[in-house]
Amino acid sequence: MAQGTDAARTVILTVDDDPGVSRAVARDLRRRYGEGYRIVRAESGESALEALRELKLRGDLVAVILADYRMPQMNGIEFLEQALDVYPGARRVLLTAYADTNAAIDAINVVDLDHYLLKPWDPPEEKLYPVLDDLLDAWRTSDHRAVPITKVVGHRWSARSSDVREFLARNQVPYRWYSSDEPEGKRLLACADQDGERLPLVITADGAVLVEPDDPELAAQVGLATTPAEDFYDLIVIGGGPAGLGSAVYGASEGLRTVLVERSATGGQAGQSSRIENYLGFPDGVSGAQLTDRARRQASKFGAEILTAREVTGLEVNGSSRTVRFSDGSAIAAHCVILATGVSYRQLQAPGTEGLTGCGVYYGSALTEAASCQGHDVYIVGGANSAGQAAMYLARGAKSVTLLVRGSSLSASMSHYLIGQITDAPNISVRTGTVVEAAHGSDHLEQLTLRDIESGHTELVDAQWMFVFIGAAPLTDWLDGTVLRDERGFIVAGPDLAVGGQPPPDWELDRAPYHLETNVPGVFVAGDARAESAKRVASAVGEGAMAVMLVHRYLEQS
């Protein structure tokens, strides 16, 4: 039996060009091994290779391959030689006539043959099953791990490969990464009939092949919801960070038909945090991914619909409804909208960094790239909590971590507990008053030019990894002309809208705007996108819940 393996994904394959013999071999195999293995048969070497490639793409296991020696176009040895490239760990058996025993012996050296069987093999209890039992025992003790999950084949220094890995990781989609230079990566490329020129290659758990997919295509193929189930809702939440997830949980739990729209992955910046230690109720800390996963499952449990990889490009007021438009031209509408779009990390304005983004220069991607930083020197730009959390996480495996801080100290922007941890970490150093002047490298980051702000002195250092956390910009440009924002792009709401104690211009209602309500009645803001917000996870979740309370108040009076 296929002990410890997924029987549905563990295969014994037999190939013989004689249909009668092929059926007989498959019959005897099913009689003995049908409960523990899936028996697949083919009647030519080419069709058997095609079957192996399909099995490989789906992540199925192949334990044993039995091939007849005398087949036209491609004999058994030639077939096993090619099969070895697809499933090098499968045990290989050649079926031969007595006259072909010399060829079978020669094949031991050519294809590393495990055994050859003389035809006929009757009775199988004596001549077939004992041989296969031994081969299956040997196979089970070898490294034959199945990969029935999404697989990504790419180049280490490919920006899009990094983006795909980040997208899958942040959306909690299990995947396995293969470099296009390693043997298994090359096998997967060959099975997908790709030469490696266009990367990344994504192979989904069911065997679908995606070449250089964009986020919407990737989301749809790995099982993430991208299409709304309805045209009209009670509440549309835009943004899936802590504020948006908080709104979705409270909105759905209180009976509102709620849909959350996220352009990339739920969690926002908090979802990328390696550890949040000052969030209420988690004395030992919690990773952003864990907190995000729990919140997403909680929202789904209450009935909230979550759409991923959907970019919102417009907001329209149509009478009592609020219409949200997507980049593909489609739209949904609702009675109310909560803007929880959050913020994105600002780009480092230093020569060379733009072309190396995703190739050694990363913005908030510490979790995905951490394994590759083992034993290397890492630089982190920024002095706030997100930079400190990334430094502590990367320091577990990196040779050294250097924090580059523009200010004179960390105390102005980083929590006290985090400063203490960084001070005590032996492989973390802090360089204050230092900025990145330039980044250098051809296809990946190789060096950095650092400048001391006070003296102007510059220094060239070797560096393959730089993570940037230098403040945030709101994702609100698409609201221009509809929702009032301040000079930095943050959304103005509630009392801040008042001019001389009066409601904002064009405000048509008799009442003043509610606390988190924008200049558009029924459109609220929560979290980091709001002007003068606290920029903390707890406050964002609280504002998400408060916004839903105000949505109820708005609906009651409409």
Enumerate long-range contacts of 21-29, CB under 8 Å, 24 or more apart.
21/68, 21/119, 25/66, 25/95, 28/121, 28/124, 28/128, 29/132
- pTM for the whole structure: 0.79
Q: Which residue has the higher pLDDT, 505 or 443?
A: 443
In this model, does residue 484 exceed pLDDT 50? yes
pLDDT confidence tier of residue 500, bands split at 50, 70 and 90: low
Same fold, 7-140 and 354-470: no
Residue 66 backbone dihedrals phi, psi, to 5 degrees: -110, 125
Strand, helix or coil for residue 127:
helix
Within 364-428, residue ranges assigned H as helices are 366-369, 385-394, 416-424
Q: Just give the CATH number of 232-344+473-557.
A: 3.50.50.60
For the stretch 91-123, pLDDT in tens is: 999 988 765 666 666 666 667 788 888 888 889
The CATH class that applies to domain 354-470 reads alpha beta
CATH entry, 150-221, from 3.40.50.1820, 1.10.10.10, 3.90.226.10, 3.40.30.10: 3.40.30.10
Whole-angstrom CA distances from 149 to 175, 290, 418 are 6, 20, 36
In this model, does residue 501 exceed pLDDT 80? no
What distance in Å separates the CA atoms of residue 241 and residue 292, rounded to the nearest whole number?
A: 8
For the stretch 209-230, pLDDT in tens is: 999 999 999 999 999 999 999 9
pLDDT confidence tier of residue 535, bands split at 50, 70 and 90: confident
| Among the listed residues 491, 475, 472, 479, the one whose alpha carbon sits nearest the alpha carbon of residue 532 | 491
Determine the topology of domain 7-140 in CATH: Rossmann fold (3.40.50)
Q: Count the Cβ atoms, other than its own, within 10 Å of residue 25.
A: 25
Orientation angle between helical segments 183-191 and 76-86, nearest 10 degrees: 120
User: Tokens 């309500």, residue?
Assistant: 517
Report yes or no: 352 and 444 within 8 Å, Cβ to Cβ: no
Report yes or no: 407 and 383 within 8 Å, Cβ to Cβ: yes
Classify each residue of 529-545 as buried b or exposed e, where b means 16 or more C-beta atoms within 10 Å of its C-beta.
bbbebeebbebbbbbbb
Domain boundaries, the chain: 7-140, 150-221, 232-344+473-557, 354-470
